[in-house]
């Protein structure tokens, strides 16, 4: 789960990771009041959305007066911010973070994340801060320091030194940096983070280190033990259909593209492969939807509703591998769900597995616009034909 | 021959009295698996059908001779269940549970380094040696006993699809393993490929990957350097958008790494017969393994 910068900075403060003074504001008036508390200018007004690249998109501005703070906040709040991470449709800004300006000597990079290949926690740091770290990794990999922390032992003092000296910090900044890194690691481990990232981490003219930006993602599977993080969820930042699907425990991803073929599949791998096969047949998938290994009638019904909520959808492909779940039971579920949702687009159903003949018979005799496919290739060809006619 | 499980496997089911545990235990038994024990803390002394239930995995090992554990414990307690099984001394642990926090699995994975056991999963369908032993939730009847092909996959129903296509073409399987869709798992592709390479009865392998991580790239290097048997590969997720978790926790393209195209390119370079259209996988296998 993603959270906002201002929320991540709240957590940073709790763990002794220094951040600039500042507070969140929902209106130009609140922004001006927030600037008053900082006791000086310039201040920075930063759009709060769940996407990176905000500065380049025009969502981060420097203000030299109280008047400028409220006028900039007025421009940013309500704007549709488009960044490389939001997609072309952008994301509406509903709040800004108002922060003190700093006297920056150097911009650095620091992050911690689980490393799946080594089963450790990896700390990544670089003197090339403020830039996209993927670019740094691709062009100048020697500028990235990686330190691997044993999850059973936790961060050791020598590892802090490896990072601190590796960053060529001035001697006076080392102690504050060790404290920052220790706090950041504690936060990372305690809150089941899938990423904590500070880009840039700034070294000030007076040898202090602060997190100028803050990015923090929490492992969704661990949210049950972090009630306080659940409170941070911001539904405005989520696709409405994806939010609806999450309420029904459905794995749905709206592909936000030109796709017009909805698809519903049991199992994540098969769902991805089904999207791929739609594309190979010359059509475009509109979504990913995994109804789970043990799909039932209710889940199929919810799935139909969510897919049909996307007005681009002109046809649906259902691909179910009925293993222990019998195909006749599934077919019955599809028919019931189709009747209840008042299905108004053609549906191609490909079922395989136990009792498949009975299942196909139920679909054929339902009197509904359900087209049966015998195998995957057949299903893809039939759905592509529908897409071609749509 | 087969790998990891066979007719001598003596299974204990952790979480046997839960809904999932009961259901799948019965299916394993009807397939012919020797289920010798179950574990549910606090229900020791009871029975699930004819299977004796113990309080601890250690008891099931001591008293019922279990050597393999199948785990249906809910995510908050699953890491603990895996470590308990390892500590009790079973040889193989198969964790079906989906949704274990990554931090827990990182600890488990490091804990297991000092234990002489193998973990399959989590978030997987399990492992089956057709005609001998089923340790998992896969539908038994789609499999064809007797080999000669091994199957290894990160997915569940996608594996069933692959196995079904093999069986339809008259190609049997030695052992089919789902290694799971989580970012941090136990047994990986290379472990399975190595075992299949060493297994006399296995004559070729189907390997099913998906977006995220670099396990397929590493497997491709291994195949190119160390395997003599032919491998057919498939990767799901060519149309997956970057930065999104596609159902499986581990199925995510991070920046420019973990893409399906990158994996397909590595696999082709490693000499793997890559199938680009899932609908034609059975045909390709019939050709490669003839």
A36-56: average pLDDT: 93
Domain stop point among B89, B120, B151: B120
Q: Which run of H or E residues covers position A233?
A: none
Q: Which residues are CB-neighbours of B59 under 8 A, at least 6 positions away?
A: B39, B44
Q: Same domain, yes or no, for B70 and B145? A: no
Between residues 13 and 72 of chain A, which touch chain B (CB distance below 8 Å)? Answer: none
Distances (CA, A) of B48 to B19, B23, B59: 11, 11, 16
pLDDT at A294: 64
3-state class of B117 per DSSP?
Answer: coil
- Please answer whether residues B271 and B223 qualify as being in contact, where contact means their C-beta atoms are separated by less than 8 angstroms: yes
List the CATH number of the domain containing B104: 3.40.50.720
Among B68, B86, B120, the domain-final residue is B120
In the three-class reduction of DSSP (H, G, I as helix; E, B as strand; rest coil), residue B89 is classed as coil
- Predicted confidence (pLDDT) at residue A320 exceeds the cutoff of 70: yes
Distance CA B83, CA B71 (A): 11
Asked whether B63 and B39 are in contact (CB, 8 A), the reply is: no
Looking at the structure, do residues B157 and B253 belong to the same domain, yes or no?
Answer: yes
Q: Residue A295: pLDDT band by 50, 70, 90 thresholds? A: low
B130 part of a folded domain: no
**Partners of A5 in the β-ladder:** none
Q: How far is B151 from chain A (nearest CA, A)?
A: 15
Measured between beta carbons, which residues in chain B are less than 8 angstroms from residue A222? 101-104
Q: Per the CB < 8 Å rule, is A272 touching B214?
A: no
Whether residue B283 lies within 8 A of chain A, CB to CB, comes out as: no
CA distance B49 to chain A (A): 20
Residue B243: give the domain boundaries. 138-288
CATH number of the domain residue B152 falls in: 3.40.50.261
Q: Which residues of A touch B78 (CB under 8 A)?
A: none
Q: Check whether residue B116 and residue B142 sit in a common domain.
A: no
Mutate to test the interface with A, among B279, B281, B282, B284 (most CBs of A within 10 A): B279
Which of these is catalytic: A197, A232, A252, A301?
A197
Whole-angstrom Cα distance, residue B92 to residue B127? 11
Whether B282 and B156 share a structural domain? yes
Of B110, B139, B181, which has the smallest distance from its Cβ to A119's Cβ? B110
Q: Shortest CB distance from B161 goes to which of A151, A224, A270?
A: A270
Region A314-326 average pLDDT: 85
Helix (H, G, I), strand (E, B) or coil at B143: coil
Q: For residue A191, name the pLDDT band (cuts at 50, 70, 90).
A: very high
- Are B229 and B272 in the same domain? yes
Mark whether B202 and B73 lie in a shared domain: no
Angle at A379 between CA A374 and CA A385, to 5 degrees: 130
- Specify the 3-state DSSP secondary structure of A243: helix
The reply to whether B101 falls in a domain is: yes
Could you give the CA distance from residue A68 to residue A61 in angstroms, rounded to a whole number?
10
- Inter-residue contact B124 to B95 (CB < 8 Å): yes
Q: How many domains does chain B have?
A: 2
Model confidence pLDDT, tens digit, residues A78-121? 999 998 888 788 899 999 999 999 999 999 999 999 999 899 99
Q: Do B159 and B256 fall within a single domain?
A: yes
Q: Would you call B102 and A268 a contact, using CB atoms and an 8 Å cutoff?
A: no
Chain A partners of B105 at a C-beta cutoff of 8 Å? 119
B128 lies in a domain? no
Residue B23 lies in a domain: yes
pLDDT at A354 over 80: no
Catalytic option among A30, A107, A109, A301 = A109
Provide the pLDDT for residue A66: 96
Structural contact between residues B275 and B234, judged by C-beta atoms closer than 8 angstroms: yes
Token pair in block for residue B25: 């235990």
Q: How far is B82 from chain A (nearest CA, A)?
A: 16
ipTM of the modeled complex: 0.94
* B104 and B147 belong to one structural domain: no
Q: Does A376 touch chain B (CB under 8 A)?
A: yes
Write the CA distances from A71 to A76, A96, A214, integer angstroms: 9, 12, 25
Examine residue B133 and state whether it is found in any structural domain, yes or no: no
Given the residues B27, B143, B164, B248, select the one marked as catalytic.
Answer: B248
Residue B36 lies inside a defined structural domain of this protein: yes
Size of interface A-B (CB pairs under 8 A): 170
Which one of A224, A293, A375 has the shortest CB-CB distance to B279? Answer: A375
Q: How many CA atoms lie within 13 A of B180 on its CB side?
A: 25
Q: Is residue B142 domain-shared with residue B114, that is, in the same domain?
A: no
Q: What is the pTM of this model?
A: 0.94
* Residue B127 forms part of a structural domain: no
> Which of B155, B238, B249 faces A221 most closely, judged by CB atoms?
B249
Cβ-based neighbour number of residue A381 at 10 Å = 16
> Among residues B86, B120, B154, which one ends one of the domains?
B120
Annotation marks residue A185 as catalytic: no
Residue-level pLDDT at A324: 65
d(CA A114, CA B98): 18
Chain B residues 38-77 within an 8 A CB cutoff of chain A: 75-76
Put simply, whether A288 touches B (Cβ < 8 Å) is yes
**Joined tokens for residue A366:** 């339902």
The reply to whether omega before A42 is within 30° of 0 (cis) is: yes
Interface contact B234, partner A, CB < 8 A: yes
Question: Which of the four pLDDT bands, split at 50, 70 and 90, describes residue A334?
Answer: confident
Do residues A217 and A195 touch, judged by C-beta distance below 8 A?
A: yes
Measured between CA atoms, how close is A352 to chain B, in angstroms? 8
Other beta carbons within 10 Å of B283: 14
Mean pLDDT across A115-134: 92
Average pLDDT over residues A205-219: 96
Answer yes or no: do B142 and B85 share one domain: no
pLDDT of residue A136: 87
Residue B26 near chain A (CB below 8 Å): no
Same domain, yes or no, for B280 and B143?
Answer: yes
Using the Cβ of B111 and the Cβ atoms of chain A, whether some distance falls under 8 Å is answered with yes
Same domain, B75 and B158: no
* Residue in the block written with tokens 């790239």: B217
The pLDDT tens digits of the residues spanning A139-177 come to: 888 999 999 999 999 999 999 999 999 999 999 999 999
Beta carbons of A273 and B75 less than 8 Å apart:
no
Helix, strand, coil share of chain B (percent; to 5):
35, 25, 40
CB within 8 Å of chain B, chain A residues 239-258: 251, 253, 255-256
A300 pLDDT band (50/70/90 cuts)? confident
For chain B (length 290 residues), average pLDDT per consecutive 10? 94 96 96 98 96 98 98 97 98 97 98 96 97 96 95 95 96 98 96 98 97 95 97 96 88 86 96 95 95
Q: Would you call A270 an interface residue with chain B, using a CB distance cutoff of 8 Å?
A: yes
Residue A389: Cβ-neighbour burial (10 angstroms; 0-12, 13-18, 19+) = exposed
Which one of B247, B253, B261 makes the best mutation probe of the A interface by having the most chain A beta carbons within 10 Å?
A: B247
Pair of tokens at residue B121: 């999963």
pLDDT computed for residue A135 by the predictor: 85
- Domain membership of residue B258 (yes or no) is yes
Pick the range with the lowest mean pLDDT from A88-102, A203-217, A322-336, B162-176: A322-336
For residue A348, CA distances in Å to A224, A312, A353 come to 38, 17, 17
């Amino acid at each position: 789960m993603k959270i906002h910068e201002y929320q991540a900075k709240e957590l940073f403060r709790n763990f002794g990771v220094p951040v600039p003074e500042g507070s969140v504001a929902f209106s130009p008036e609140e922004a001006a009041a927030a600037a008053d508390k900082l006791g000086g200018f310039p201040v920075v007004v930063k759009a709060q959305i769940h996407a990176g690249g905000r500065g380049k998109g025009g969502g981060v501005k420097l203000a030299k007066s109280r008047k400028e703070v409220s006028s900039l906040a007025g421009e940013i709040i309500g704007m549709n911010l488009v960044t490389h991470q939001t997609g072309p449709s952008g994301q509406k800004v509903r709040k800004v973070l108002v922060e003190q300006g700093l006297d920056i000597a150097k911009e650095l990079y620091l992050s911690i994340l689980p490393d799946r290949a080594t089963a450790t926690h990896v700390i990544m740091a670089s003197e090339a801060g403020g830039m996209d770290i993927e670019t740094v990794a691709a062009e100048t990999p020697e500028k990235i320091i990686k330190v691997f922390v044993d999850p059973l032992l936790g961060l050791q003092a020598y590892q802090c030194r490896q990072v601190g000296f590796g960053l060529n910090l001035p001697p006076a900044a080392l102690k504050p940096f060790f404290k920052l890194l220790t706090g950041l690691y504690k936060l990372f481990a305690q809150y089941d983070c899938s990423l904590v990232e500070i880009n840039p981490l700034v070294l000030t003219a007076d040898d202090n280190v602060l997190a100028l930006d803050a990015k923090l993602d929490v492992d969704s599977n661990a949210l049950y033990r972090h009630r306080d993080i659940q409170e941070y969820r911001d539904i405005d930042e989520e696709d409405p259909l994806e939010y609806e699907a999450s309420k029904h425990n459905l794995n749905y991803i709206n592909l936000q593209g030109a796709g017009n073929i909805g698809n519903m599949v049991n199992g994540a791998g098969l769902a991805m492969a089904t999207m791929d096969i739609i594309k190979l047949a010359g059509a475009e998938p509109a979504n990913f939807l995994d109804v789970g290994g043990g799909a039932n009638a209710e889940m199929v019904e919810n799935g139909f509703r969510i897919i049909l909520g996307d007005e681009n959808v002109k046809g649906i492909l259902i691909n179910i591998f009925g293993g222990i779940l019998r195909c006749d039971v599934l077919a019955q579920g599809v028919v019931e769900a189709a009747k209840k949702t008042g299905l108004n687009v053609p549906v191609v159903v490909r079922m395989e597995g136990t009792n498949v003949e009975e299942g196909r018979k139920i679909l054929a005799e339902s009197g509904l616009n359900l087209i049966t496919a015998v195998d995957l290739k057949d299903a893809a060809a039939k759905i592509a034909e529908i897409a071609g006619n749509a | 021959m087969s790998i990891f499980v066979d007719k001598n496997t003596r299974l204990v089911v952790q979480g046997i009295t839960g809904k999932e545990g009961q259901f799948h235990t019965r299916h394993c038994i009807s397939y012919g698996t020797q289920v010798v024990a179950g574990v549910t803390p606090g229900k020791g002394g009871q029975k699930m059908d004819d299977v004796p239930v113990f309080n601890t995995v250690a008891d099931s090992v001591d008293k019922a001779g279990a050597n393999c554990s199948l785990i249906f414990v809910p995510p908050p307690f699953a890491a603990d269940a895996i470590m308990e099984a390892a500590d009790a001394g079973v040889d193989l642990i198969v964790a079906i549970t989906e949704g274990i926090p990554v931090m827990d699995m990182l600890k488990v994975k490091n804990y297991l380094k000092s234990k002489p056991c193998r973990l399959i999963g989590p978030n997987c369908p399990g492992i089956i040696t057709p005609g001998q032993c089923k340790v998992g939730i896969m539908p038994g009847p789609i499999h064809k006993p007797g080999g000669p092909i091994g199957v290894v996959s990160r997915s569940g129903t996608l594996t069933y699809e692959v196995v079904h296509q093999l069986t339809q073409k008259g190609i049997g399987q030695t052992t089919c393993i789902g290694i799971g869709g989580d970012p941090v798992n136990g047994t990986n592709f290379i472990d399975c490929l190595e075992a299949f390479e060493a297994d006399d009865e296995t004559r070729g392998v189907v390997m099913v990957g998906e977006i995220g991580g670099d396990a397929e790239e590493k497997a491709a290097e291994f195949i190119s350097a160390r395997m003599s048997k032919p491998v057919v590969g498939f990767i799901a997720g060519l149309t997956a958008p970057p930065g999104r978790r596609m159902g499986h926790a581990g199925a995510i393209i991070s920046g420019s790494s973990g893409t399906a195209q990158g994996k397909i390119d590595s696999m082709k370079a490693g000499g793997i017969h890559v199938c680009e259209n899932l609908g034609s996988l059975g045909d390709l296998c019939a050709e490669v393994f003839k």
